[in-house]
Structure 1
Amino acid sequence: MRATVGRVCAAAGAELLAEPAGPTSSTRAPLADTELVDVHHAVRGRVRPGTVLVGRPEDTGLWDRAAELGGCTVAVLPDAAGWLADLLCARSTGGPGPGGTGHVVGVLGAVGGAGASTLACWLADRAAQEERTAVLVDADREGCGIDVLLGLEDRDGLRWPDLQRIAGTVHAEQLWPALARAGRLRWLSWDRSRPDGAPAPYAPVLEALRRAAELVVVDLGRAGPAAADTAVLCDEVLVPAPRTVRGMLAARWAADLLAGVPARLVPAGLNVADVDDALAAAATGLPVAGSVRFCGGVPEAAETGRLLEAGRSRRLGRDVAGLLSAVGALR
């Protein structure tokens, strides 16, 4: 692996400083632009922001290990050699990379119907309304497009199928103006075509959006292994869950699935099981970021293209603003 990484570094014009395996600490080279960790030598504990875990296609548990290390980016070599070289080149010349100014927040539904997609839309929209540079990213491949939920599927702009054949770095200055938009809000959605099995370039695209926006909100869909793989690309994840026994059990499972990714709970809807925030936190092991109250008009609003309008109401808007403050998007 060291020889493979060495060739990538040489192609990027970067110097490889090899260190023996050991605890991640301040003893590691403080001036390194990027820390690369071989999956076979990774130790327990969190790693620096922007760390890349490297491995080969035959390395099982690569994504699980990345989650245990705090959600670092993964490069599977040699397939990702071009992408990794571009990343090293950008960082060595001052490019912001994953540690750039943008904050990436994932929204993962504990159960189906928990309102993850709706909450993701409202978070991105409220940030845009507050004059933050915000983008909504649809990472729920089988959801037929978050643009439909927005009621804006007729807007021109890039969709994920347009980006599936890209290789290497995605340039923020090219991606940003090509996104669909309404006012200050931009989004990147899946469409209604049948998934062809090709992997989505979530890592390079999210990195580019991080460089372009102050806030990137990622709709991860319902909790599951595929969603967990994408969640490791986020700085933190919000987990909306109904205030029910089943909702809390599902949120506990989602917390285990997320492993080392920083996550917080968002109790949502009617409190039919007498689950207050303290009980929810104790039952799930997740701290509570805030809650979203029940509003009976939301399903109709979603079906009639008025979802964003519903989220801007005074009561729901206060809940959404509170969550944005909790993740540091509003000061």
Structure 2
Amino acid sequence: MSTAAHRPAPARTPGAAAARARTVRLVSDDPALRATVGRVCAAAGAELLAEPADPSSPARAPLADTELVDVHHAVRGRVRPGTVLVGRPEDTGLWDRAAELGGCTVAVLPDAAGWLADLLCARSAGGPGPGGTGHVVGVLGAVGGAGASTLACWLADRAAQEERTAVLVDADREGCGIDVLLGLEDRDGLRWPDLQRIAGTVHAEQLWPALARTGRLRWLSWDRSRPDGAPAPYAPVLEALRRAAELVVVDLGRAGPAAADTAVLCDEVLVPAPRTVRGMLAARWAADLLAGVPARLVPAGLNVADVDDALAAATTGLPVAGSVRFCGGVPEAAETGRLLEAGRSRRLGRDVAGLLGAVGALR
């Protein structure tokens, strides 16, 4: 794992980059930084469009495949998601600035020159995501208890049962670990606290074999330790998993600002919500949080408020991907380590298979 840190952008539409010239725009007044980026672009076969930093100019149109901005000139509202913030090792405020802006990649040059060249090549190739080909789907509960974690487990397990390379990622930091829900908290393998001090590219070939697994399903979970305030390296880890797996399922937990920040790293998000008035209103709020991220609704549980799919879509503004029926035995299954088994049952298995078949349809 290198010393360069970065945060990937939401996935790009396949083929979009290939339809344009392979260009990179750099906004910087630093001659040395321009020279370094120029060498990287030459190695990646990309054309560099260097521009001076001019805070009085209007926001730029998206004319390049990749946009790089000197961290000293990164201004909120003028840096688009997917921008790569570039700086030098002595730029100690780079990480804080990237966190403030959100949705950015960070490259410390010249150390990250190799990573940046790989990124430019990957984006020029028009792949479905930054640096890889896997699909990342988030699951965001409209309310607590909507079944987001359960659905995430079942989707990842179903993909693994279909002999696809799949990984389940726990991004609900306060959930005490999705491995407990799986009933596999004693299984050896990496947990998020093992990765929190990473400040750089995460290599898929190192990460993948170290993950906990059961059968064909691998997962990365939080544990029961108290959060120490260190940021989770969701971006580089998800990027690495995208390179390693066909499907990455991310349990985002309950809808909220923190979950929304992680959701931008996904290609799409499924929003399970109870078929109740409160559930639909909460899903509408979740949809607002996810503005800009492709999202679909998953009505779940008993239909106690007579909410059909058409009404659910009209109320929330989200298209319906499918539904998950109520099954009274699920809570007990989760408490006894049989959650995955429950999701493979005939009735629930049909629902999960239908949702898995719909995943990726928004690409």
Bin of the TM-score, shorter chain as denominator length: 0.7 to 0.9
Higher mean Cα deviation, 49-58 or 102-111? 49-58
Query: What is the TM-score of this pair, normalised by structure 2?
Result: 0.73
* 8 A contact 1:134–1:213 mirrored in 2: yes
1:217 and 2:254 correspond: no
* 8 A contact 1:134–1:215 mirrored in 2: yes
Q: What do residues 261-285 of structure 1 show as CA deviations (whole Å, max 9, x unaligned)?
A: 1100000000000000000000000
1:163/1:180 CA distance change after superposition, 3 Å: same
Higher mean Cα deviation, 65-74 or 241-250? 65-74
Query: What is the TM-score of this pair, normalised by structure 1?
Result: 0.80
Q: What do residues 54-104 of structure 1 show as CA deviations (whole Å, max 9, x unaligned)?
A: 899999999999999997767799999997677458768999961521000
Alpha-carbon shift at residue 217 of structure 1 (Å): 0.2
Which residue pairs with 1:64 in the alignment?
96
Alpha-carbon shift at residue 118 of structure 1 (Å): 0.3
Q: Pick the aligned partner of 1:141 from 160, 169, 173.
A: 173
Q: Secondary structure at the match of 1:27?
A: coil
Higher mean Cα deviation, 41-50 or 192-201? 41-50
- For structure 1, the residue ranges without an aligned partner over 5 or more in a row are none
1:174/1:45 CA distance change after superposition, 3 Å: same
Which residue pairs with 2:55 in the alignment?
23
Q: Secondary structure at the match of 1:323?
A: helix
Structure 2: distance between partners of 1:311 and 1:322: 13
Q: Pick the aligned partner of 2:329 from 297, 314, 329.
A: 297
1:44/1:287 CA distance change after superposition, 3 Å: farther
Which residue pairs with 2:27 in the alignment?
none
* 8 A contact 1:67–1:260 mirrored in 2: no
1:27/1:42 CA distance change after superposition, 3 Å: closer
Alpha-carbon shift at residue 198 of structure 1 (Å): 0.3
Higher mean Cα deviation, 126-135 or 13-22? 13-22
Alpha-carbon shift at residue 168 of structure 1 (Å): 1.5
* 8 A contact 1:50–1:98 mirrored in 2: no
RMSD: 5.4
* 8 A contact 1:24–1:47 mirrored in 2: no
Alpha-carbon shift at residue 167 of structure 1 (Å): 1.6
1:195 and 2:227 correspond: yes
* 8 A contact 1:90–1:96 mirrored in 2: no
1:118 and 2:150 correspond: yes
Which residue pairs with 2:65 in the alignment?
33
Structure 1: distance between partners of 2:48 and 2:362: 39
Q: What do residues 277-311 of structure 1 show as CA deviations (whole Å, max 9, x unaligned)?
A: 00000000000000000000000000000000000
Q: Secondary structure at the match of 1:18?
A: strand
Q: Secondary structure at the match of 1:300?
A: helix
* 8 A contact 1:24–1:43 mirrored in 2: no
Q: What do residues 189-232 of structure 1 show as CA deviations (whole Å, max 9, x unaligned)?
A: 00111000000100000000000000000000000110000000
1:235/1:63 CA distance change after superposition, 3 Å: farther
* 8 A contact 1:128–1:134 mirrored in 2: yes
Structure 1: distance between partners of 2:133 and 2:186: 31
1:288/1:53 CA distance change after superposition, 3 Å: farther
1:317/1:330 CA distance change after superposition, 3 Å: farther
1:40/1:195 CA distance change after superposition, 3 Å: same
Structure 2: distance between partners of 1:260 and 1:65: 22
Q: Which has the larger radius of gyration?
A: 2
Structure 2: distance between partners of 1:305 and 1:39: 47
Alpha-carbon shift at residue 166 of structure 1 (Å): 1.1
Structure 1: distance between partners of 2:149 and 2:89: 32
* 8 A contact 2:102–2:261 mirrored in 1: no
Alpha-carbon shift at residue 16 of structure 1 (Å): 3.3
Which residue pairs with 1:245 in the alignment?
277
Q: Secondary structure at the match of 1:108?
A: strand
Aligned length: 331
* 8 A contact 1:164–1:201 mirrored in 2: yes
Q: What do residues 153-176 of structure 1 show as CA deviations (whole Å, max 9, x unaligned)?
A: 111111111111112211001100
Higher mean Cα deviation, 118-127 or 33-42? 33-42
* 8 A contact 2:119–2:130 mirrored in 1: no
1:259/1:33 CA distance change after superposition, 3 Å: closer
Structure 2: distance between partners of 1:46 and 1:131: 43
1:131/1:27 CA distance change after superposition, 3 Å: farther
* 8 A contact 1:23–1:45 mirrored in 2: no
Structure 2: distance between partners of 1:139 and 1:253: 20
* 8 A contact 1:215–1:329 mirrored in 2: no
- For structure 2, the residue ranges without an aligned partner over 5 or more in a row are 1-32
* 8 A contact 2:190–2:210 mirrored in 1: yes
* 8 A contact 1:70–1:260 mirrored in 2: no
1:222/1:89 CA distance change after superposition, 3 Å: same
Q: What do residues 178-198 of structure 1 show as CA deviations (whole Å, max 9, x unaligned)?
A: 100011000000011100000
1:220/1:83 CA distance change after superposition, 3 Å: farther
* 8 A contact 1:133–1:215 mirrored in 2: yes
